[in-house]
Structure 1
Amino acid sequence: MAALSHIRVLDLTRVRAGPACCRILADHGADIIKIEAPEGVDPNATINGARDGYDMQNLHRSKRSLSLNLKMPEARAIFEALVKTADVVVENYRPDVKYRLGVDYETLAAINPRIILASISGFGQDGPYEKRPGFDQIAQGMGGLMAVTGLPGQGPVRAGTAIADLSAGVYAATGILMAIIERGESGKGQWIHTSLLEAMISMMDFQAARYLVDGVVPEQAGNDHPVSTPTGVVPTKDGYLNLGVAGDGQWRHLCEEIGRPELGTDPRFATVDARLENRPAVRDLLEPIFREDTTQSWLVRLEAAHVPAGPIYRMDEVFADAQVAHLGIAAPVDHPTRGPIKLVGLPVHLTRTPAKISRPAPDLGEDTDAILTELGYAAEKIAALRAAKVV
């Protein structure tokens, strides 16, 4: 059995943060019922692209789909019947919307006291920005990431992936699992919530702590590490590599490998603080040396010298790497129309109850009949609900 095979989750989410949260639970075996409006009801239904496209497939694999128009009374009765059977409801509406739809915690808990409601918003469940629509890039800007990303003086630069969305999804999944564990002791559900803004600030980690503790406002550092050098991108004879010399011991190993052992104890470079103070001089010393050999040769040499370093890949090179292939993070899935495809697997491994992508993302309402049948609806009633566009 998968780790969460005993858990049922009602997924009311869309875009990325909420679906990413539910994807984690789904791959670990939870019965995720993705509740979405019937065809033609939601004008933004294609926000993540085609149903069989890469984004929908990656976000919504391992889930079931129930089409349900929650604005209709008969649909509401179906939803409440599902809440009685569920462990978790996940939503990422603007905070006020959940109350209009009756999916707030107080309403759900009155139906099922064990229910856990997970809410993901742009800026939090209350406060001056609670009704603002939140998107990843907005959170990247407000959380401080864009101000430290890019070359010095370049102006703000967004990260190349949806870091605020995805981290909010991971934090929400973590909160859900903690609430499930606590429910085992108390027997009660609870409301857990996070936001893109909070998640983004949390992901800033040491950069945020530099300001909170020492009052330092971090600036753009380009490919250099903000507080450690030489840690960053160095040009080689045929390209670039990432060099990760953080500790003084690693610095001395590097100096020995490049044939300059005296630099390891040179007062200008012997300590982390000294190297940071003399960062331009460190770069001026190293760049000509690294340009003398190829990236692959340097990788072999630095590995033997116990100096952290790595290649800088385009995405095709990522999945061609031997270690990436060994990790199996490109997970195979059979799609009914696209045939064999690969999706991005989970990066955490449970040895006894491993995660698994159990199925491709479902078509809209693909599992509606099966789910309604589980709830006790007869075929004639299901047909009538379809005719009335409830499902």
Structure 2
Amino acid sequence: MTTNPQIESDRGAAPRGALDGVRVLELGTLIAGPYCGRLLGDMGADVVKVEAPDRPDPLRDWGQGGQKLFWRVHARNKRCISLDLRTDAGKEIFLDLARTADVVVESFRPGTLERWGIGYDVLSELNPRLILARVSGYGQTGPYSERPGYASVAEGISGLRHLNGFPGQAPPRIALSLGDSLGGMFAFQGVLAALYARERTGRGQVVDAALSEASLAIQESTIPDYHKVGHVRQPSGTRLERIAPSNIYKSSDGLWVIIAANQDTLWMRLAAAMGRPELGTDPRYADHTARGDRQDELDEMIGEWAARYSAEDLVAILDKFDVVTGPVNTVAEVMVDPQFNAREMFVDHIDPSLAPGDDGYDPEPVKGVGVIPKLSDTAGGIRFGGASRPGTHTDEVLAEVLGYDADTLARLRDAGTIA
């Protein structure tokens, strides 16, 4: 393999993250489980992604304009190895790696690891400190557990999809696999909690994260509202019902601006910004309940006022009066936004599997979102982008972690166990 010298340099220069010294083995494909692995890698963990030699992660082929850029960002900070877990030799290597690991992240259908003979009963016997994070559509138990699960269905079954869109219309999907990302984030949270618990108990445990439950968990008070008073929250378009004023309003140049003044003090500031300070104490609008009763009236009033100004001027006026406001940006506007740039939210991702002279080498790095949240002392970072070539780090990992020599690697490669 040709190594990229810039990547080797970057690895040494990258800040040490909070999870430096934690080794993660990532199994599974697409978004939810690998997103958990990405978050762990962002915080400094050594993430080793395991792919089948003949069936690499389909995410490698996702992207726009003929560019496979989804993978480059989503597989960042991961060393990629090709290992056939369907063979005895492949399973033996995986179990040897598991002995050295702190965390295994998998996103197969429940029961898959057990069928392969590498379930948690086996893993925990080999390594009692090992944490197994299992990410699936519905969780490891229950009547739906064996169903395949995708983000779209998780959002639907959880009630999240029902809340999106406008009343009386088909509930649309946000142009993201939101349920996958939520599932990955909750799995990440569970891994952190399990690592902390291990400091007290000395033992690992299973983290069971479901896309459907992650989608349910963010729904604020919908469950108690229904349980106690029978209220079924409905989609409300561009606003939240009875939270007023808080909506999008069109400027004179045809752009949408968010104005959120649904607290009493904020409403008084907005009234002053509109040149009508008397509305701030008007009994018809002075408190939360009154404004909720007159939500349509307020939206019409604010909309007429906002339409007099360009989006830039409207935001400037509202900022002057400390009213919560902001534009509805496209990604093109996001990337030039001074706030995101001041916070260094767009960082370079360089393919570690390619070097000058290689087919497909691009000297220009790919921009992606930076590490969130920011830690003051152990910030982590982007050490390298996802490797476009499967198995880029197979030799490196097996030699470094398990001590395999060149002859052993050659025999495994000839047998098809690794690639």
Q: TM-score, normalised by structure 2?
A: 0.89
Call closer, same or farther: CA 1:227–1:91 in 2, change over 3 Å. farther
Does the alignment pair 1:345 with 2:345?
no
Match of 2:393 among 364, 367, 377: 367
Q: Counterpart of 1:284 in 2: which secondary structure?
A: helix
In 2, are the aligned partners of 1:146 and 1:159 still within 8 Å (CA)? Answer: no
Q: How does 1:4-43 map to 2 (within 5 A)?
A: 4-38=19-53, 41-42=54-55
In 1, are the aligned partners of 2:128 and 2:203 still within 8 Å (CA)? Answer: yes
Q: What is the number of residues matched between the two proteins?
A: 388
Deviation by residue 1:110-145 (Cα, 9 ceiling, x = unmatched) = 111110000011011111101111111111111212
In 1, distance between residues paired with 2:331 and 2:349?
20
Q: Counterpart of 2:133 in 1: which secondary structure?
A: strand
In 2, are the aligned partners of 1:267 and 1:274 still within 8 Å (CA)? Answer: yes
Deviation by residue 1:212-267 (Cα, 9 ceiling, x = unmatched) = 45431111111112341110111121122001112011111111111222222222
- The one-letter code matched in structure 1 to 2:392 is E
Q: Report % sequence identity.
A: 34
In 1, are the aligned partners of 2:249 and 2:257 still within 8 Å (CA)? Answer: yes
Match of 2:381 among 348, 351, 356: 356
Q: Which residue of 1 aligns with 2:288?
A: 272
In 2, distance between residues paired with 1:55 and 1:150?
27
Give the aligned CA root-mean-square deviation in angstroms: 1.6
In 1, distance between residues paired with 2:261 and 2:224?
22
In 1, are the aligned partners of 2:25 and 2:49 still within 8 Å (CA)? Answer: yes
Following TM superposition, by how much is the alpha carbon of 1:47 offset from its aligned partner in structure 2, in angstroms? Answer: 4.2
- The one-letter code matched in structure 2 to 1:32 is V
Q: Counterpart of 1:320 in 2: which secondary structure?
A: coil
Does the alignment pair 1:389 with 2:416?
yes
In 1, distance between residues paired with 2:226 and 2:72?
40
Q: Counterpart of 1:70 in 2: which secondary structure?
A: coil
Match of 2:266 among 250, 266, 269: 250
Q: Which residue of 2 aligns with 1:377?
A: 404
- The one-letter code matched in structure 1 to 2:58 is T
Q: TM-score, normalised by structure 1?
A: 0.95
Deviation by residue 1:344-388 (Cα, 9 ceiling, x = unmatched) = 112201111112110121221111111221212221121111111
Q: Counterpart of 1:242 in 2: which secondary structure?
A: strand
Does the alignment pair 1:160 with 2:175?
yes
Match of 1:285 among 279, 295, 301: 301
In 2, distance between residues paired with 1:158 and 1:247?
30
In 2, are the aligned partners of 1:201 and 1:208 still within 8 Å (CA)? Answer: no
Does the alignment pair 1:305 with 2:305?
no
Deviation by residue 1:22-60 (Cα, 9 ceiling, x = unmatched) = 00111111111100000xx22x74245169721111110
Does the alignment pair 1:193 with 2:191?
no
In 2, are the aligned partners of 1:254 and 1:305 still within 8 Å (CA)? Answer: yes
In 2, distance between residues paired with 1:365 and 1:161?
28
Q: How does 1:308-319 map to 2 (within 5 A)?
A: 308-319=324-335
Call closer, same or farther: CA 1:338–1:210 in 2, change over 3 Å. farther
In 2, distance between residues paired with 1:50 and 1:162?
13
Call closer, same or farther: CA 1:209–1:296 in 2, change over 3 Å. farther
Match of 2:246 among 228, 231, 234: 231
- Unaligned 5+ runs, structure 2: 1-15, 355-360
Following TM superposition, by how much is the alpha carbon of 1:209 offset from its aligned partner in structure 2, in angstroms? Answer: 4.3
Does the alignment pair 1:321 with 2:325?
no
In 2, distance between residues paired with 1:371 and 1:365?
10
Does the alignment pair 1:46 with 2:58?
yes
Q: Which residue of 2 aligns with 1:2?
A: 17
- Unaligned 5+ runs, structure 1: none
Call closer, same or farther: CA 1:276–1:304 in 2, change over 3 Å. same
Q: Which residue of 2 aligns with 1:176?
A: 191
In 1, distance between residues paired with 2:414 and 2:291?
72
Following TM superposition, by how much is the alpha carbon of 1:208 offset from its aligned partner in structure 2, in angstroms? Answer: 4.1
Q: Which residue of 2 aligns with 1:80?
A: 95
